[in-house]
Structures are given as C-alpha cells and as structure tokens.
Chains A and B, each alone.
Chain A
Amino acid sequence: MNTELFGVISIFIISIVLAIPLGKYIAKVYLGDKTLFDPIFNPIEKFIFKISGISSTEEMNWKQHLKALLSINMVWFFLCFFVLLFQGSLFLNPDNNPSMSPDLAFNTAISFVVNCNLQHYSGESGVSYLSQMFLMFLQFVSAGVGMASAAIIFNAMKERTTDKLGNFYNYFIKSCTRILLPLSIIVATILAFSGTPMDFDSKDAITTLQGDHVEVSRGPAAAFIAIKHLGTNGGGFFGANSAHPLENPTYFTNAVELWSQLIIPFAMIFALGFYLKKKKLSYVIFGVMTVGFLLLVIPTVISEINGNPAIEKMGIAQTTGAMEGKEVRFGPAISGFWSIATTVISTGSVNSMHDSSMPVSGAMELLAMMVNAFYGGCGVGILNFYIFIILAVFISGLMVGRTPEFLGKKIEAREVKIAAFIAILHPLLILSGTALASYFAAHDTAMGYWFSGNATGWLNNSGHHGFSEMLYEYTSSAANNGSGFEGLGDNNPFWNITTGIVLLLSRFIPIVGPLAIAGLLANKKYIPESAGTLKTDTTIFGVMVFAVIAIIAALSFFPALALGPLAEYFTLK
C-alpha cells in the first residue's frame, strides 16, 4: 500500500515541477519569442499557410477570432461525419468493421471536434483504422483550438487598450506543432517500448495455453494514446480505454499517461504568469485549483482503498481495496487518483470503470465535472476559471463598494451578464438533460424511434445508481469530459442526439463567452493600479474565487448529487 501511495504523490509532484519550465516555454511560443523548434517548424508552418492562402500574421479582433474558430470547426465536423458514415467501405479497415449509423456518426464527430471524446462505440469493433487516424487528427486540432482560445485571452489581458488580439491560425497551429506534437512523440515512443502496439494489422487469432480460440485486437494505438492524454481528449483506442492492458500496460505507463494529461493544463496556468509577467497571479490561480483538486481526490482515494462495505460484510479480504472494475496492476489508490484527475481535467480517459466506483468517489467525479474549473482541459480550463474570476471580482467589488476592476480594466454590466449566463448554462444543460432522461426512465416510456424498448432498458443499474448513470452522462457531455458510467446503454438515437446537442452548446458557448468578455475588456481604457484597486493576486481574492465556485456548484448541483451518489452512500451497508 505504501508503494501505491508513494506512486500517487510522486506523480502529482513531478507533474507540478515539470509544468513550470513547460509553462515558460508555452508563454514564449505565444509571445512569438525564439524557441528550440523554430528551425524545424518555421518552414513547415510557412509552407502550410502559403498553400492554404491564409495569413498567420494579420491581427484579429475577438469577433474575427470567433469566426475563424467556428468555421474551421464546422469543416472538421462535416469531414469527420462523412468518414465515420462510410468507414465500412473506405480503406484501412482490416477488421471489416461496419459504417456508423447516422446518429452515432453525428455524436462521435461532434464529440471529437469539441475535445470531449464521449464514445458510444467500442474501439475494437466500432471504427476502422482510417477513422481512428482521423479521430486522432481531431484530438490534435481540438486541443489546439482550446489552447489558442486561452492564448487569445492571455493576449487580451495585457496592460493596454486595443482590439487586436493576435492571429487565431498562428496560435492554433503553434499549439499543435510546438507543444502537442513534440510531447506526443516522446510519450508515444515510451508507450510503444512499454508494450502498447503500433501496427496496422488485423486481429490476431491465437490458441491459448488451455486451448481456447481467441482473437486479439491491435492497431496503431501508441500514437493515438499519447495525444489522447496530452490533448486532454480521453477517447480510448480500445473499448476499455486506459484500463485495457495494451492501452496502458504497466504501472509505469499509467504514471506516464497520468503525467501527460496533467502537464499541459498545469503548464497553461504558469504560462499565464510568464506571459503577463504576473507570476503571483498564476500562483494564486494554481493554489485555488489545487485546493479544490485535493478536496476531491483525498476522499476518493480513501473510499477506494477502504473498499465496498457490502463486500466487506461477506467476509472476504479487501486488503487490495475495491477491485470491481479495476486492474490489479494499478490498484485502488492510483485508480482513485486517476478518476479525479481525468474528471477535473476534461480528459475523460479511465483506467478503472467509474460505474463501479464507490458512491463517495462517484460523487467526487461528478462534482469535479460540475465545477469544471479546477485545472480544466487543454486551454479551456483557464477560460472556465476566467468566468469565475470575473464573477468574484464583481461580487468583491460590490462588497467593498468599489468599481470592480480586473487587471486595470473596469468590469461593467455587459461583461457580468455574459459571465453569469455562462455560469448558469452548465447546470442548465446538465440538469435539464438529466430531468428529461429521468422522466422517461421513471415512467418507463416506450421510446419508439429513439430507443428500442422502454426507457429503463438503458440503465445497467437500478435505483439511485441508475439515476447517477444518467446524471453522469449529461455532466460528462456538458463538461466536455467524455468518461461515463459506461453501463448506460447510450448507443441509440436518444442518447446520441441529446448528448450531441449538449456537447455542441457546452463547448462553443463557453469559448464564445470568455473571448467576448476578454475582447470587450481589452478595448477599454487601461486604469493604472492605485490604492483603491482591488488586488486580484492575493490569497484573500483566491478564497473569494473559491467561495464563488463552491457556492455556484453546490447550490446548483447538490440536490442532484443527493438523489444519486449520496443516497447510494447512505443505503450501502
């Protein structure tokens, strides 16, 4: 057990330590300073932009940024949709997997474009290698879009008055080539040498030691898994995601995969400090996030190590903790840690099945996605946190009777309205989706086209846990997470289409909102700091932000959590 806990703590600390130099590097990339990879990537990027006829130097205002961002995402969505719809008859399909149904292709295409990677299919049988490669492309670029959005916000926070906020394509391509690609090559190489396959062969048919015939799925997994974590995408190559022994072969690869999903969200926060030369601000943000993360992770690890009380009662030894849905090579401690890391950050890859987590852990996983601002996904984590900063500045301003200011810019009604709308959108999407699904399940409605059979048929567990399955699915969609209580029967028009819509709204509106606020603020007159300024890089302001987050998340979500995991906790004896 000690070696397990030591593993958890050291991975966390190593990630933080390495995030600082990476943050410095990321800040340099966005500032346009000279970096290590210039000789390799400068010509490549130049070539790409020249052929496409796109300018990478023309400065854009926030509306132009949004236009570019939304149009290129639309192009990706349609391309992906058609690849998935016709994959059965296209090339690179050695296992002869069938084409997707239109509703599944719709859900999958959106889900990968928006960096969520909710998967209503199983990797072994649901997609061809061509589709896997196209989805992997989306894992790069969707992460790049998130990071570019963060870079625009960084730019807007500078102490000046302007509407020019850099070039979207420049930020986007550099995020992909300078940050994601080099790290992916390193991680993919480590994985390949640790036993993760990287081939294009079909299934292997073997006879096992005791004489059974089995088929073993393989494929170009190492390249895929590296970017799946670094881009905080989380979509698995195989059905069981990172619990699969080829996707995550050893405790060491597990540590590497954990590190790779933590590193960029961590580094982006430090990058903000280096970029603006306000290191203290980034330490305050990082501190608030870390406190939130630890508050979620500690109860989870403890409850997983303690195991299932109902199984304890049967009289067997739970020395290795709660093992349903977990792998022996990882054990409960690191699996519990991972389940919070992957939900706090919007990765959504799993190394244990969350549906079988203990009730307390389930509540913490849900809460992590409901807050969606402790670290958060590649780039977008900062965007979500930015909304809470604006709200906290506004509320503190009211409390002390001063005009709310953030980094020398006055925050007025328009910005607060946008921020409040974004903050309300998240619970609105989650709770209305869950209410709709629960209504059908409670009445056991015959679903017709939407689901073959009656609505309770999509549940894998009954009672409180069944409610949690539905709540989790919408929470995961709205938080752009992609993990699931996978027992839920979700590959049908009802779940594919409703979660698809939630995915779209909850990705792009929370990008549009912060960009609009940042753009509006950047255009305002800069007011130098004075004795009357509310300082935002202090502990007391950190506490304030934390309080705003806790109040918004607790007030909106507590009733739902009480009906699901908390009720299950109190009934489980």
Chain B
Amino acid sequence: MKTIFSLLKLTLLTVILFAVIYPLAIYGIAQFAPNHGKGETISVNGKVVGYQKIGQKFDKSNYFWGRPSAVDYNAAGSAGSNKGPSNAEYLALVQKRIDTFLVVHPYLKKSEIPSDMVTASGSGLDPNISPQGALIQVKRVAKERKLSEDKVKALVEANINTPKVMGTPTVNVLELNVALDALSKKGS
C-alpha cells in the first residue's frame, strides 16, 4: 500500500512536469510564433478566408481546384480514403474522376493529367497540388474569368514553390485562388 501511494505521488509530480509545465512552456514560446501559435490564417479585406496550411474545397469553375478529398475537406475530421491499390471500386472511382476532369477540360490529353489531381490525399486536407495540376486548369479558369491565358499562366508560375535543395514542387491552391481574385478585380 505504501508503495502504491509513493508511486501515485511520483506519477502526480511527473504529470506536473511533463503535462503541465512542459506544454505551458511551449505555449509561452509559441506566443512569438506566427499568429501566436493558433495557425496561420489568410485574410482578404480583413476577413479570414482560410488557414494557409489547410486545404479547402474548391468546386466552382472560376477557381483552381485542389485534390479529391476523402472527407470533403472537413477540417474537423481529417482522414484518407484508405483504399487499397487493387480495390476495384476505388479504381473505378479514379477512372470516373479522370473522365469528369476531361469533360470539364476538353482541351486536355489524358496523359497530361497528373495523378495527384485524381487521387485523395492522406489527410483529406492537402493544401497543395503539383505545378502540372495547376497549369492544366489555366485555360478553363482564364475562360471563366475572362482573363487572358498568359496572365493566368503567369500567375500560376509565380505561385509555384520550387524547392532549392530538398522537397517537392508545390502550388498552394488557396493562395493561388486569393491571388486570382485579386487579379480579376484589377482586370475589371
């Protein structure tokens, strides 16, 4: 009994050290981080339109689209599809996504569609697409927005993050679309 009591005291003290003091210290440090450690947001005209790191749903034809999401971009319940590579239903779904993509982008050849545009991400909240995934949407977006293709293409290129040493090239869909809105406004 005496040992149990001692062990409880030891547990309580270590809880204070590792689950109270440690997180509070990090909380204190995070006050100096971007947006005080609450997650970086992106605002338009002073109104928060999203989190910079969290992907959001874009399905309107005048925006660049992100990747398919297994949770429909629900940022309070992240998950992937967990479909196995040989799952027949899953493969049919990918085929359907390709067909739909080609209907909306009739100017494309199948071989121009990168795999990230027709597969769901791991988190369901992927904020990025590959540069190729953005470039193939330029023609559609330009037409919808009545902007010149060159201008929209230049916008995409300005939004490609190319890694210098290590990493993958990415395009942040939300940032691109915010810039696109700004471009439209300037153009009209």
Q: Which residues on A are within 8 Å of B, measured CB to CB?
A: 3-4, 6-7, 10, 44, 47-49, 51-54, 71-72, 75-76, 79, 122, 124-125, 133-134, 136-137, 140-141, 169, 173, 176-177, 181, 184-185, 188-189, 192-193, 195, 197-201, 203-204, 206-210, 212, 214-218, 220, 222-224, 226-227, 238-240, 243-246, 249, 251-252, 255, 307-308, 310-311, 314-331, 350-353, 355-359, 460-465, 468, 485-487, 568, 571-572
Contact = CB atoms under 8 A, between A and B. Distances in A.
Contacts of A185: 22, 25-26
A327 B52 CA distance: 15
Contacts, number: 363
B87 A461 contact: yes
Contacts of A193: 32-34
24 contacts: A3-B165, A71-B7, A75-B11, A76-B11, A133-B20, A136-B23, A141-B18, A177-B17, A189-B29, A203-B76, A208-B56, A214-B74, A216-B54, A218-B38, A222-B26, A223-B22, A224-B23, A240-B122, A245-B53, A251-B163, A251-B168, A319-B115, A460-B82, A461-B84
A243 B123 contact: yes
Given A223-B27, A460-B82, 8 more contacts: A72-B11, A177-B17, A208-B56, A210-B59, A243-B123, A244-B78, A321-B115, A329-B126
Interface in B3-28: 3-4, 6-11, 13-15, 17-20, 22-23, 25-27
A571 B86 contact: yes
A329 B168 contact: yes
B85 A136 contact: no
Contact of A351 (B114, B122, B168): B122
Given A52-B6, A240-B80, A245 B85 contact: no
A146 to B, nearest CB: 15
Q: Which of B25, B55, B129 has the most CB of A within 10 A?
A: B25
A328 B76 contact: no
Contacts of B122: 240, 243, 325-327, 350-353, 356
B79 A122 contact: yes
A54 B10 contact: yes
A209 B174 contact: yes
B26 A215 contact: no
Interface string B31-52: 0111011111100100111111
A356 B82 contact: yes
Interface stretch (B91-99, B139-147, B149-157): B91-99
A352 B177 CA distance: 26
Contacts of B39: 195, 197, 204, 216, 218, 246
A353 B126 CA distance: 13
B33 A316 contact: no
Nearest to A568: B86
Contacts of B168: 3-4, 251, 320, 328-331
B75 A216 contact: yes
B170 A329 contact: yes
A51 B11 contact: no
B137 to A, nearest CB: 15
A82 to B, nearest CB: 13
Contacts of A358: 85
Contacts of A52: 6-7, 9-10, 13
The number of chain B residues touching the other chain, given as a range, is 35 or more
B87 A462 contact: yes
Interface of B: 3-4, 6-11, 13-15, 17-20, 22-23, 25-27, 29-30, 32-34, 36-41, 44, 47-60, 63, 67, 73-87, 90-91, 94-95, 98, 110-116, 118-130, 132, 163-168, 170, 174, 177-178, 181
B115 A206 contact: no
Nearest to B116: A323
A216 B76 contact: yes
Given A7-B167, A206-B49, A355-B83, A245 B127 contact: yes
B2 to A, nearest CB: 8
A48 B181 CA distance: 59
Q: Which of A192, A238, A245 has the most CB of B within 10 A?
A: A245
Contact of B128 (A79, A308, A328, A353): A328
A485 B82 contact: yes
Contacts of B23: 133, 136, 198, 220, 223-224
Contacts of B120: 324-325
B76 to A, nearest CB: 4
B171 to A, nearest CB: 8
Nearest to B56: A208
B56 A6 contact: no
Given A192-B29, A328-B130, A352-B122, A310 B91 contact: yes
Contacts of A209: 44, 49-50, 56, 58, 63, 174, 177-178, 181
B57 A212 contact: yes
Contacts of A198: 23, 26-27, 29-30, 33, 37
A320 B115 contact: yes
B43 to A, nearest CB: 10
Given A71-B3, A223-B22, A244-B78, A176 B83 contact: no
A324 to B, nearest CB: 4
A248 to B, nearest CB: 9
A72 B77 contact: no
Instruction: Enumerate the 7 nearest inter-chain pairs by beta-carbon distance, A residue then B residue, closest first.
Output: A7-B166, A487-B82, A243-B122, A465-B84, A240-B78, A353-B80, A251-B167
Contact of A199 (B30, B32, B63, B181): B30
A122 B84 contact: no
Contacts of B50: 206, 208-209
Contacts of A320: 114-116, 130, 132, 168
Nearest to B68: A324
B60 to A, nearest CB: 5
A15 to B, nearest CB: 14
A48 B121 CA distance: 46
Contacts of A169: 10
A397 B81 CA distance: 51
Contacts of A323: 67, 115-116, 119, 121
B57 A243 contact: no
B115 A322 contact: yes
